[in-house]
Amino acid sequence: MKYLPIDRQLFIQNREKFVRHLKNNAIAVFNSNDVMPTSADGVYPFIQQTDIFYLSGMDQEETILVIFSDAKEEKHREILFLRETSEHIRTWEGHKYTKEQASDISGIKTVYWTWEFDRVFRMLVFEAEYIYLNTNEHNRADISVQTRDRRFIDRCRAAYPLHKYERLAPIMHHLRAVKSPLEIELIQNACDITEKAFRRILAFIRPGVWEFEIEAEIVHEFMKHRSRGPSYNPIIASGADSCVLHYVKNDKQCKDGELVLMDFGAEYANYAADLTRTVPVNGKFTPRQKDVYNAVLRVQKAAISILRPGNTLEEYHKAVGQMMEKELIDLGLLKIDEVKKQSESSPLYKKYFMHGTSHYMGLDVHDYGHRFRKFEQGMVFTCEPGIYIREEGIGIRIENDILITSDMPVDLMKNIPAEVEEIEELMK
C-alpha cells in the first residue's frame, strides 16, 4: 500500500467496540468489495469495502472477516480469510498478504485461506443463534450493482434458513460516526495532503488553462504524498458550470474574468478529505465576485461555530438557512417582503443555496451517520455553504472539514487559504 503502516490498535479497538453491540451467541460476516470490471478483460483499481477495513485494516480483495465473540474455541472469536497466493499470482499480480502479515496488520491471530471459508463457517454457524450480515444502507447509495455482501446474503439464507438474521449496518453507522484519535490523525493527514495540492494549483491557475490540467496538478500532488488519488471525482468547474453542483467533465478552458470552483480531496489510508475553494481565474476577484464570496465565507464561519455537541443536522441546517437568507437579501438576490411571505417548507434561499451545509466524513467522503443523531465529540463534518447565481455565471462554495470536540469545533483545514486577500496574494 502507498500509505504508511497504521497502528493495529485502531482495528483492535474498533472490534472491541463492535462486539459490545452484538446479541449473545451471534456471528458476524464482512466481505471485501469486488474487483469491478470495465470491458473486455479490464478492471478498475481495487478499493476496499470500508467496514471490513475499519475492523481489520485488510486492504486486499477476496478477504472475509468473521467475528464470533461467543465461539466455544477462543481462536475462532476473530477470523480472517485471505486469498491464497500462488506462483501464477505472484508473477502476474505481485505480492499478496501472508497470514503473518495479515495478523500483524489486524491484530487477529487466526487466519485461513478464503477457499476454506465454507468449511470453517459451517462448523461455527451451528453454534450461533444469530447471523449478522452487511448491506449498504447509506441513503444516497446506488445499489444497482450486486456486491459480494449481497450475494453472500442469498447464499447464507439458502444454506441456513432457520437462523435469526440481523443487520450490521445500524451498528456500523453508529460506531463509525464517532472517530477515534487514531482515525482523526489519518483524516488530518488527508487534509494536509489536500492543502499541498491547493497551494500548488494557486500558482498554476491562469487564463487559458484547462480544467483537466488543474485536475492533473491536484492528482500529481496527491500521489506524491502517498495518496492513491482523489477520495471522490474532482469537480473543476469554471464559468457558468460553477453553478452545476456535481460537474465532473472538467473539459473546458478557463477564461479571464471567470471563477473556477474546485471541489476535491485526497484519500489517505482509505480516509477522505473534502475541500472546496473558488478562485478567480485571473487571480483577482471582481467587486461582485468578492461580495458574493465574502457572503459565503461569513456563513461558513458562523456555521462552523455551531457545530457543537447536542445540536442536530436538522436544527443546524435550519439555522444556516437563516444566515444565508440574510446574506442573499444584502446581495439584492432576495426581497425582505417576499421572504416574510415564504413557505416554511420551501424557503426562498434554496434558489441560490440548494444543497445541505454539512455531511458526515471519514472512511467514506459521505460517511455513515444518522441525520437525527445529536452531534457528539469525535464526529467529523464538512461545512460547505454556497451561493449559485446562474444568471450571473457566479457559483461560489467554500468547504472545510470540521472536528466536533467537547468545546469549540476544530477546523482540520484551518491552514488552507480561504480569505480573499490571501488567495489573491498567493495567485500573484
Are residue 372 and residue 247 in the same domain, yes or no? yes
Examine the domain organization and report whether 191 and 307 are in the same domain.
yes
The DSSP secondary-structure symbol of 380 reads E
- Same domain for 170 and 293, yes or no, is no
Kindly state whether residue 4 falls inside one of the protein's structural domains: no
Rounded to whole angstroms, the Cα distance separating 58 from 51 reads: 10
Asked if 392 contacts 288 with a C-beta cutoff of 8 angstroms, the reply is yes
Final residue before a domain boundary, out of 176, 194, 217: 176
Backbone φ, ψ for residue 54 (5° rounding)? -55, -35
pLDDT of residue 140: 83
Q: How far apart (Å, rounded) are the C-alpha atoms in residues 127 and 122?
A: 9
* Assigned domain for 1 exists: no
Burial class of residue 216, CB neighbours in 10 A (0-12, 13-18, 19+): middle
Does 277 reside within a domain? yes
Residues, the chain, total?
Answer: 428
Judge residue 171's burial from the number of C-beta atoms within 10 Å of its C-beta, 0-12 exposed, 13-18 middle, 19 or more buried.
buried
How crowded is residue 405: how many other Cβ atoms within 10 Å of its Cβ?
A: 14
For 47-78, b/e burial (b = at least 16 CB within 10 A) is: bbbbbbbbbbbbbbbbbbbbbbbbbeeeebbb
Give the pLDDT score at 139: 81
Question: Is residue 144 located within the same domain as residue 190?
Answer: no
Q: What are the pLDDT digits (tens) for 212-236?
A: 999 999 999 999 999 999 999 999 9
Same domain? For 312 and 358 the reply is yes
Cβ-count burial 261-291 (b if 16+ within 10 Å, e if not):
bbbbbbbbbbbbbbbbbbbbbbbebeeebee
Q: Which of 176, 191, 210 is the last residue of a domain?
A: 176
The label of the residue with cell 473558488 reads 278
Q: Where are the beta strands (DSSP E) in 137-274?
A: 164-167, 235-238, 259-264, 267-268, 271-272
Q: Examine the domain organization and report whether 223 and 310 are in the same domain.
A: yes
What CATH number did the domain enclosing 147 receive?
Answer: 3.40.350.10
Give the predicted TM-score (pTM) of the model.
0.96
Q: Are residues 152 and 301 in the same domain?
A: no
For 299-347, the three-class secondary structure string (H helix, E strand, C coil) is HHHHHHHCCCCCCCHHHHHHHHHHHHHHHHHHCCCCCHHHHHCCECCEC
Residue 110 cell numbers, joined: 487466526
Residues 327, 177: Cα–Cα separation, whole Å = 32
CATH number at residue 342: 3.90.230.10
User: How many angstroms separate the CA atoms of 216 and 200, rounded?
Assistant: 11
pLDDT band at 176 (very low <50, low <70, confident <90, very high): very high
Q: Can you give the residue range of the structural domain that contains 333?
A: 181-426
Cβ partners under 8 Å of residue 137, min gap 6: 167, 169, 170, 173
Tell me if 3 is assigned to some domain: no
Specify the DSSP element, H or E, that contains 279.
strand 275-280
Domain shared by 19 and 152, yes or no:
yes
Has residue 39 been placed in a domain?
Answer: yes
Determine the pLDDT at residue 141: 82
pLDDT class for 138, splitting at 50, 70, 90? Answer: confident
Work out the burial of residue 327: count CB atoms within 10 Å of its CB; fewer than 13 is exposed, 13-18 middle, 19 or more buried: buried
Both 272 and 163 in one domain: the answer is: no
Burial class (CB in 10 A: 0-12, 13-18, 19+), 94: exposed
Contacts of 406 (CB under 8 A, 6+ apart): 309, 377
For residue 143, pLDDT beyond 90: no
Q: Is residue 90 part of a domain?
A: yes
Is 342 inside any structural domain?
yes
Residues with a catalytic annotation lie at 41, 246, 263, 274, 355, 359, 366, 384, 388, 397, 399
Cα distance between residue 91 and residue 400, in whole Å: 44
Domain count, the chain: 2
333 and 202 share a domain? yes
Answer yes or no: is pLDDT of 10 > 90. Answer: yes
Rounded mean pLDDT, 375-380: 98
Evaluate whether residue 56 is within a structural domain.
yes
Helix, strand or coil for residue 122? Answer: helix
8-state DSSP, 243: G
Q: Per-residue pLDDT tens for 319-348?
A: 999 999 999 999 999 999 999 999 888 999
134 and 60 in one domain? yes
**Which of 176, 206, 234 is the C-terminal boundary of a domain?**
176
- What region, left, alpha or beta, does residue 257 occupy, with left being phi > 0 and alpha being psi -120 to 50 degrees? left
Question: What does the pLDDT average to over 268-272?
Answer: 98
Residue 82 — very low, low, confident or very high, per pLDDT cuts 50/70/90?
Answer: very high
Q: How many whole angstroms separate alpha carbon 218 and alpha carbon 96? A: 30
Residues 110, 201 within the same domain: no
